[in-house]
Amino acid sequence: MSGVCQIQKARHRRFRRTAALVVTALMWAGSAWAEHFDITLTVEGADEKQEAYSDESPPVEGLHTRPVFHGKVSEAFTLQFFMTYVNPHDVLKQGAVHYFLAPIGKVGQKELPSLAQDVVAEGRLVLDFKTKGRAGLKQQFRISRPGVYLLRVESEGSKSDHEHFSAIELDIK
Amino acid sequence: MSRKPRLNKGLDGARNGKRPRRCSRAAHQKRCPLAERTGSRIGVFVAILLGLTRLGRAEDFSATLELSGAGGTQKTESAAGLGRHREKARPVFHAAVSEALTLRWKCSSQAAKLFENVLVHVYVAREEKLDQDDPPDLKPDRVALESAITMDFKAGDSAHASLTFRVDKPGIYLVRVEAQGVAESLPLEPFAALDMEVK
C-alpha cells in the first residue's frame, strides 16, 4: 500500500513540475510577444484615403499585406500617424518613433528602401513612453515624380525581440 | 507629602544669580514684546520661500528649436519672461518654396518636481504677419506640419525629434514647440518659437 502511495506522490510531483514549466514558458512567450504599440497610419488625398494598423517585424515586410494608395504627381497629400504605447508592464525609456516616405521598386517589395536619397519625408521622435503614452504627427506633402513609394512608421529600441510598424504603399501616376 | 512648587527655570534663575537657563517658548512669548512680530516675520518669509520653491523657475523646463535648410540654420530657445508678452521679436528664418527643411526640437526638465502627462506640441502653421502676437489658426489647410507627444518629465529627462518637411505655399509661418501641462508649476508655459518667411 505504501509503495503505491510513493508512486502517486512521485506522479503528482512530476505533474506539478511540468505544469510550472508550461506556465513559465507561456508567460515568457507572452511577454516576448506582448503588444507594445497600437499604430494608426493614414494617407489622404483629394479622392482617396488609406489606413493601416500595427504590424510586426521581423519579418521586415511584416505579416499583413500593405494597403495601396493611388495618387497623382504634385497632388496635395496628408500623412498622419498615432502611436500609443500599450505595454502595461514597463516604461520604455528613450524609445524612438521613426517614419519615412521613400521610393521603392515595385508594389509589395519586401526589402526596405535606402534612405540615403530621394526621401520625401523622414522623422524621428525620441521620448520616454509610459503606458498609454502617445506620439503623433500630421504632415502635408507632394510627390514630384511618378513611382511607387513606401510610407512607414516604426518603433525603435523597444528592448524586445520584435518591433512594431505600420506601412502603406503609394502608387503615384 | 506636599509637592514642591515648580520654579521658573529661566529668567527667575538669572535674577537669583544663577546661570540663566533656556526658558520655554511659551514663557518667552509671554515676556518678550518682539517675539510675536519676529515669529510672524519668519512665518511670512518661510511661506514665500516655500511658495517660490513650489512655483519653480522657468529654467526648470527648457525648450529649444532649430530650423535648417539650404540657406542656413536658425536656433532659438525658451527663456524666462518670454510668454505671450514678449520683449523681443521672434527670429526670422528665410526659406524657398519646396525647399527641404529640417526641424529639430528638444524639451528637457531640470526640476526636482515630476511633471506628469506633459503634452509637447510642435507645429509649423501659417500666420498673417511676422512677429504676430495672436496664435495662428491650426486648421488643416494652414498647417504644414504638426506633431505631439505625451510624456512624464522628471529631473534630467528629455524628449527630442528631427523632422524633415517642405512648404509648398509662400507666406509667413510660425514654427513653435510648446510644453503644455507644466504651467501650473512654472511662471510661464515653456516654449520656443521662430517665424519663417517662405518665398
Domain ranges across chain B: 11-55, 58-198
> What are the pLDDT digits (tens) for B84-138?
555 678 999 999 999 999 999 999 998 888 999 999 999 999 999 999 999 999 9
Angle, vertex CA A140, rays to CA A83 and CA B74, nearest 5: 95
The pLDDT tens digits of the residues spanning B42-83 come to: 555 554 444 444 445 556 889 999 999 998 999 999 854 444
* Least confident segment among A152-161, B53-62, B123-132, B159-168: B53-62
In whole angstroms, what is the distance from residue B17 CA to residue B11 CA? 10
| Residue numbers in A near B161 (CB within 8 A) | 123-126
The residue in chain A having the minimum alpha-carbon distance to the alpha carbon of residue B158 is: A127
Alpha carbon distance A153, A165 (integer Å):
5
State the pLDDT at residue A31.
46
Shortest Cα–Cα distance, A80 to chain B (Å) = 9
Q: Kindly state the cell numbers that stand for A95.
A: 524609445
Our measurement of the distance from residue B178's CA atom to the centroid of its chain's CA atoms, rounded to an integer in Å, reads 11
Torsion of CA A121, A125, A131, A137, to 10 degrees: -40
Cβ distance of A134 and B149 shorter than 8 Å? yes
Mutate to test the interface with B, among A129, A137, A143, A155 (most CBs of B within 10 A): A137
Alpha-carbon dihedral angle through residues A64, B146, B100, B98, given to the nearest 10 degrees: 100
Q: Can you give the pTM of this predicted structure? A: 0.75
Cβ-based contacts of B152 with chain A (< 8 Å) = 128, 130
Give the residue among A48, A121, A52, A114 at the shortest CA–CA distance from A82.
A52
> What DSSP string runs through B11-61?
HHHHHTTSPP-PPPHHHHHHH-TTHHHHHHHHHHHHHHHHHHHHH--GGGE
Name the minimum distance, in Å, from the CA of B169 to any CA of chain A.
Answer: 11
For residue range A102-148, what is the model confidence (pLDDT) as tens digits? 999 999 999 999 998 899 999 999 999 999 999 999 999 999 999 99
At residue B157, what is the residue type? D
How many pairs of residues across A and B have Cβ atoms under 8 Å apart?
69
More confident residue, B13 or A168: A168
Asked if the ipTM is above 0.90, the reply is no
Å between A84 CA and nearest CA of chain B: 10
| Domain covering B58-198 in this structure, CATH number | 2.60.40.10
Residues in B closer than 8 angstroms to A130, CB to CB, are 151-152
Å between A145 CA and nearest CA of chain B: 14
